Amino acid sequence: MSFSIQKTEAEWQALLQGKGAEPGALQVTRHAATERPFTGKFNAHWADGSYHCVCCGAKLFDSATKFDAGCGWPSFSQAVPGAISEITDRSHGMVRVETVCAQCGAHLGHVFEDGPAPTGLRYCMNSASLDFEAGGS
């Protein structure tokens, strides 16, 4: 899969450090690591605004679609149209759907079909992959 924004590992690292991203952001976004549940800064964050890719700034989710799934990661029922690409993930002995930023390929988390109506989806995201912009969604 090819993405419109491409950088070297060192460039991503410098960009994330410059933004003051969480220490694990590089491993999560560029190497598909997962933060521990209930540790991310956006798990219990309920302000109005929008969630963006920490790597490239692309808008991914509106706060109105965020819900408490009780899983320990920020969860959303709907993504901004075209913002996310899906990849089949066969790691850890399971088959899941990985979500990545459609602009830069940053690993965001996974999407599951156990979310609320009307979409039935649960976009289970890593806080380390997200940035938040306050304001009306």
Where in the sequence numbering do the catalytic residues fall?
124
SS3 10: helix
CA distance 118 to 78: 9
Omega before 118 cis (within 30°)? yes
Question: Is residue 61 within a helix (H) or strand (E), and if so which, with residue range?
Answer: strand 59-62
Nearest one of 107, 106, 48, 36 to 72, comparing CA atoms: 36
Cβ neighbours around 109 below 10 Å, total: 28
